[in-house]
Structure 1
Amino acid sequence: MKIITLGLILFTLLWHGGCALLPKMIRPAEVRPTTKLPVADLENRSQLNKAIERQLRVLKSKSLPDKLRQFAGQTLSQELIINSLIRFQELLNTCQDADELNRRIGEEFDIYQSSGGPGGKVLFTGYYTPVYQACRIRQGEFQYPLYRLPPHYQTLDLSPLRSSWKNITITVFVDGNGLVRLPPSRREIEECKVYAGQNLEIAWLADPLDAFLAQVQGSLIVEYPDGQRQFLNYAGKNGYEYTSLGAELYRDGHLELNKINMASIRKWFRENPHRLAEYLNRNQSYVYFLPQEDGPFGAGGAVITEWASIATDKRIFPIGGLALIDTKIPLLDNKSNLIGWKKHTCFVIDQDTGGAIVGPGRVDIYMGAGNTAGQMAGYQKQEGRLFYLLLRHLSSSPRWAAHTRE
């Protein structure tokens, strides 16, 4: 494990301009005002009410840091986020139909559309909470651990060093002698067993790919031999850059671009088990978990809700943001085979983030827990549009009109 001083870390970042360790800042305009909002289908009304109530409970109980209230480079007031949700919920439950709701929103809310990624498109993927059989101790086929966050991890805020590093952080480990260490990579954790003997294991799984995918999802439910279930929620990560398993298989010519999904990835590794460790270790990012009685929790501390919660880049979009997504979702038969796509235009609450969700052109839809949700999330890969709504009398429209990040 590398040992360095804090001063050396900061010197390296400043000398190299952050190119090696810091994500690139997004410079084009990220949202634009619009008066055109698609009419939602309201199929998720009950889940949406639940998501709003869960989010309001958190927002009313604690102040969110500025970095979780970003909207295209501006910091929203918590009051604006709260009141936008309250007024929307009132309209959601009193309007006669979707057309009336759409009209009232146009009268009372400012609407902004994400500029998207290249070509102006927003890519919608899906995520879920997997349920895995597990053991509390290492035995039999259960050989692959899930770890709790090691002690003495610290996240350093680099914002004071440069204006262009707003909301940029780096994760380090400070040992008992005050030395600053870069956290171990996935390869060091898996192959060098750097956590052996530290009693950091929460549970053991039977499949290394399942353990890897649990980290990609960020939370899971484990079921022990005695039937007890436990939520393992996201606790932190080692700070290394995320590398997509599907993208690596495509780059090496093993999967076609339009056929990358969870089913095809699992199938390829079943046929090539000797290549699994090699590909898993290409993703040096590593996620740690926290055992809890409820979950899964989003980045702002609220429990997320199936089909009503999304994850976006929190450098751009706010926790608790009221949004509308316009895309397509998978249609599956009773054997979980993909048979088509269904238009999906729904209001959602922005409650989460993810290592692969970067920029204004990426959204992850939370699809629930268990196998069916996992199948749908595995297939989900469709373009669409993303909109945000801010209560008009509390927002200031002109300041959003031509904003770009520095």
Structure 2
Amino acid sequence: MKKLLSTSTFVAGIFSITCLASANNNTKEIIKGYDFEGNGWQKNLECFDGTFKQEELPSISLIPEKEMDKALYNQLSATERKLLTPIITEEQKEFIRKQKAVLEKMSEQTGTDEKAIFLSGLKFKRLRGEDGCGNVLLTGYFTPMLQLKRKPDSTYKYPLYTKPSKWPNDQALTRSEIDDFKGLQGLGLEIGYSDSLLNNYFAQVQGSTFAHFIDTNEYMTLAFSGKNGKKYESLGKYLVSSGHVSKKDISLQAIRNFFEQHPELLSSVLNINPSYVFFREVKSPPITSSGVPVINNITAAVDPDVIPHGSVLLVEFPIINKNGKVGSREFRLLIASDSGSAIKGAGHIDVYMGENQQQAGFFHHYGQVWLLEI
């Protein structure tokens, strides 16, 4: 992502906000994500009541990600369909119209290489973040690739399921009841079998996965088809709080390393998260919860009760150096079109990073986020 905003203007614009706030920010810091040196948490930001605070930013122009035109087209189509929904209120329609106007303004400026998007004439509404001052936890999610078999054997024995239309005994099962006690076995719900319960878990957390069925040589996308309705609990946060992995080192690879060293704990630790995700086979790319395809470095998963799907977000994106610390920041545009069990409230946004598991796994840093409006 290239910034056309000059560095001096960018820095001056940001510091005009932070310096203004420094005398007023006396609130205690509240960190709900991962607290470690270099995580990007900014002190002395101006705190405020409410979910958003409108404020002035310097004139900004930037080069969007190369598929931004496709993302805008998809989201405009979804927004137009939403306006035709008969059950939404006039207030909801008015907000959707405002979202549509922002999408149209962006769309008019994209479509050719190296063409800047200008953000003049827009309103910038800063998200309150975890602390009420603008520190938003930014994490990454990705689409893994699973090697599966249609029929189980002694190695490929861990099933991925489609969601049952009716629960046994009319009671939703927990992760332990499904994986350990085989509560869904024999109901014809198995899509395929992997050689790793942990890989299945990671696919569930991401919400979708690419799949290669090695015994039939089929390639499919396994899309999200529902959950068991149980509350999501973070495996990473458990491993940190229990002292198994340090805050600064937590990542998907660190989790893998822990279970390689302690395979006997895999089942019991996974069961700390009772939430279970089900899949369905599709031939299209992964689709967001709002019905549009995911797009690398543009799609964002949000809490739609806070940030409605279809919203365009300006993010002061943290750039991570080789030591895992925030080395610099740059403005980027994201489109809020997805959601997830772990993304709740105004303090957390998840950024789709394609198949880049390593990048997504190490990204859990802080930045500021603004909702764009006309």
TM-score, normalization by structure 1:
0.73
Partner of 2:127: 114
Amino acid at match of 1:30: T
Amino acid at match of 2:352: Y
Q: Deviations over 1:196-225 (max 9, x none)?
A: 110001111111100001000000000111
Partner of 2:366: 383
Aligned 1:195-344 pairs, distance under 5 A:
195-225=184-214, 226-330=216-320, 341=327, 343-344=329-330
Task: Provide the C-alpha distance between the structure 1 equivalents of 2:359 and 2:88, rounded to a whole number of angstroms.
Answer: 28
Which of 338, 344, 347 is the aligned partner of 1:361?
Answer: 347
Shift, 1:190, TM fit: 1.1
TM-score, normalization by structure 2:
0.79
Task: Provide the C-alpha distance between the structure 2 equivalents of 1:235 and 1:255, rounded to a whole number of angstroms.
Answer: 32
Which of 180, 185, 204 is the aligned partner of 2:174?
Answer: 185
After superposition, the Cα gap between the structure-2 partners of 1:60 and 1:274, relative to the gap in structure 1 and judged at 3 Å, is: same
Contact 2:64 2:333 (C-alpha < 8 Å) held by counterparts: no
Task: Provide the C-alpha distance between the structure 2 equivalents of 1:259 and 1:350, rounded to a whole number of angstroms.
Answer: 28
Contact 1:40 1:346 (C-alpha < 8 Å) held by counterparts: no
Shift, 1:61, TM fit: 3.8
Task: Provide the C-alpha distance between the structure 1 equivalents of 2:59 and 2:140, rounded to a whole number of angstroms.
Answer: 21
- Root-mean-square deviation (CA, aligned residues, Å) is 2.9
Q: Deviations over 1:115-137 (max 9, x none)?
A: 11125210100000001111112
Amino acid at match of 2:301: A
Percent of aligned pairs with the same amino acid: 28
Instruction: Say whether 1:29 aligns with 2:19.
Output: no
**Aligned pair count?**
324
Partner of 2:108: 90
**Structure 2: gaps of 5 or more residues:** 1-47
Amino acid at match of 1:52: L
Higher mean C-alpha deviation, range 227-236 or range 51-60: 51-60
Shift, 1:97, TM fit: 6.5
3-state SS in 1 of match to 2:279 = strand
Task: Provide the C-alpha distance between the structure 1 equivalents of 2:143 and 2:318, rounded to a whole number of angstroms.
Answer: 21
**Structure 1: gaps of 5 or more residues:** 1-26, 153-172, 392-406
Task: Provide the C-alpha distance between the structure 2 equivalents of 1:67 and 1:248, rounded to a whole number of angstroms.
Answer: 41
Task: Provide the C-alpha distance between the structure 2 equivalents of 1:309 and 1:232, rounded to a whole number of angstroms.
Answer: 18
Which of 71, 77, 92 is the aligned partner of 1:51?
Answer: 71
Contact 2:232 2:342 (C-alpha < 8 Å) held by counterparts: yes
Q: Deviations over 1:164-208 (max 9, x none)?
A: xxxxxxxxx5x7xxx8x4411111111221111100011111111
Task: Provide the C-alpha distance between the structure 1 equivalents of 2:64 and 2:114, rounded to a whole number of angstroms.
Answer: 14
Instruction: Say whether 1:80 aligns with 2:63.
Output: no
Shift, 1:111, TM fit: 2.0
Contact 1:329 1:382 (C-alpha < 8 Å) held by counterparts: no
Task: Provide the C-alpha distance between the structure 2 equivalents of 1:185 and 1:76, rounded to a whole number of angstroms.
Answer: 41
Partner of 1:169: none
